[in-house]
Amino acid sequence: MATNFDLTATWTYHNGTKHSLQSVRSSRHYLDWENQPLPFKIYSSLEAIPLPHDLPAASLPALTAISTLPATPHADCVPDVPTLAALLYLSAGIIRQRTYPGGAIYFRAAACTGALYHIDLYLVCGDLPGLAAGVYHFGPHDFALRCLRRGDYRAVLAHATAQEPAVMHAPAVLVCTSTYWRNAWKYQARTYRHCFWDAGTVLANCLAAAAAFDLPIRVVLGFVDDAVNRLLDLDANREVALALVPLGYTAESIPLQAPAVTPLDLPVAPLSKREVDYPAIRAMHAASCLPDEQAVATWRGAPPPAQPPAPTGQLFPLVALGETELPQTPLGTVIRRRGSTRVFSHDPLSFAQLSTLLTCATRGIPADFLVPTGVMWTDLYLIVNAVDGLPSGTYVFHREHNAVELLRAGQFRHEAGYLGLGQELPADASANLYCLTNLPPLLQRFGNRGYRAAQLEAAIIGGKCYLAAYAQRFGATGLTFFDDDVIDFFSPHAAGKSVMFLTAVGKPAKRQRPYS
């Protein structure tokens, strides 16, 4: 079995799951609709604990919530059940549904590849106002919690994270997991990328919601995988923990003794008639696991210093909207209205709108692999098709200069469509934002687990782009891509990098419903 620093595992997986024109054309995969998996994990023997529907309003303006970084807490901040319910709803809840003769489609708060919703949220907490200490699963289908274990098991997470400070002082911790088959039904082995893409969009919402409720929050990617999976009673061949999210703060550290973690073997509703295993997913996950606390302590910390090349092309300083021009739509309203745009018009965005989006999405992410908070490893490249005040062409974003650098002037709608798997959406969009990462130094520092970090950081940025677009009343959608062709297109500037995430933004061709 490959260890975390046997980097052949990452390159084998990453190169083996790249899309190319040839790989897409030669694929014989088809969607077996009769075998489509359930979009929910349903515990058939556990009693539901209904969450309140009268939720506190996330009234902070969405653009403020997206760009706000949590301050260092100095006083106890313990979330109550209504606040937790609101956070869960805004992160992974069902915001609306559409019925049709064969059933219903449930739309979630955060975007997900293929609308397959394979990300689940669990809660590990001490005694909270209105909720006893325990390990809980959040069921979006009936907006309820189910108790897997009673008692305070936070010490398990404290040990699993090598006593990460945010976990040590958290009254509650969310755990993001992915059930592979719920996504692999459509996307096969590429699903392991989607695990972090879709966890990232959920976490983008969660971070913004925490800001709206003034709740301390952090994303923790360094933990002993087996310990967390056992606590949640997961079959790690099918479902795995991806990230921990400590919420709130108590001055007193949590106790380091926990009840014994015994197997539960709780019955769960079958996802579909049969499941297909993709060994490449399991191999990549196993190769990026951390086996013990010492490995976690060694893993955690600052990434290698990014050394962006000095600009050589024309710089266009960002011109973000002024305070009086910024839309004040509350975060809760934006999330409830969010969708994935299906048709873009060719109407242009303004450079101020694009600048505001870039500014909000790149302020930083509070995470244990991005130290100090505000460090950013992802590079943003753009194809600009229609932005008033910015010539059409290709660009790279220089956060340190608060500007975009023109790499190549010209109209590249056709190329944008091709790079986005030959789809019309990126060709019609006003701009396409590509998250690229220089993987070799990141993997050298963090091992195979650095691949998880690279995918997750890019996806959180992409999720923030989604929210920043809808907060300004235009549209966005996430897309897949021809990996090497994207790098070739942006080279020589992007030579040696890898593409992680793609977000297309623009004016929807169909009129959006007005904000309430």
Question: Dihedral of CA 4/8/11/12: which sign?
Answer: negative
Residue 432 CA to residue 453 CA, distance in Å, equals 22
Q: What is the pLDDT of residues 124-139, one digit of tens each?
A: 999 999 999 999 999 9
pLDDT exceeds 70 at position 433: yes
Check residue 258 and give its pLDDT: 85
List CB contacts of 249: < 8 A, sequence separation 6 or more: 73, 75, 76, 77, 169, 170, 171, 216
pLDDT digits (tens, 9 = 90+) for 272-293: 999 999 999 999 999 999 999 9
d(CA 455, CA 446): 13
Q: Which region among 196-205, 237-246, 378-387, 504-513 has the lowest average model confidence (pLDDT)?
A: 504-513
Confidence of residue 516 (pLDDT cuts 50, 70, 90): very low
Q: Given CATH 3.40.109.10, say whether it is the number of domain 315-506.
A: yes
Candidates 232, 207, 273, 216; CA nearest to 120 is 232
On the question of pLDDT at 444 being above 60, the answer is yes
pTM summary value: 0.96
Statement: residue 451 has pLDDT above 70: yes
Q: How confident is the model at residue 515 (pLDDT cuts 50, 70, 90)?
A: very low
Among candidate residues 360, 378, 370, the one with its CA nearest the CA of residue 455: 378
Q: pLDDT digits over 362-410, tens only?
A: 999 999 999 998 899 999 999 999 999 999 999 999 999 999 999 999 9
Is residue 194 pLDDT above 70, yes or no? yes
Q: What percent of the chain has pLDDT over 90?
A: 89
> How many whole angstroms separate alpha carbon 206 and alpha carbon 172?
14
Residue 296's φ and ψ, nearest 5 degrees, are -65, -45
Check whether 458 has a pLDDT greater than 60.
Answer: yes
Q: Tens digit of pLDDT for each residue in 466-493?
A: 999 999 999 999 999 999 999 999 999 9
Mean pLDDT of the chain: 95
> What's the pLDDT band for 98 if we cut at 50, 70, 90?
confident
Tell me where in the chain the CATH 3.40.109.10 domain(s) lie: 48-98+106-263+271-299, 315-506
Cβ neighbour number for residue 88 with a 10 Å cutoff: 23
1 has a pLDDT exceeding 70? no
Residue 514, pLDDT score: 44
Q: What mean pLDDT is predicted for residues 425-440?
A: 97
Q: What is the mean pLDDT of residues 459-471?
A: 97
Q: Answer positive or negative: Cα dihedral of 276, 182, 235, 242.
A: positive
pLDDT at 148: 98
Residues 328-341 as b or e (16 or more Cβ within 10 Å = b):
ebbbbbbbbbbbbb
Percent of the chain past pLDDT 70, that is, above it, reads 98
Band (pLDDT 50/70/90 cuts) for residue 513 is: very low
Q: State pLDDT tens for residues 160-188.
A: 999 999 999 999 999 999 999 999 999 99
Please indicate whether residue 461 or residue 107 has the higher confidence score (pLDDT).
461
The fold for domain 48-98+106-263+271-299 equals NADH Oxidase (3.40.109)
Residue 511 has pLDDT above 60, yes or no: no
Distance of CA 443 to the CA centre of its chain: 20
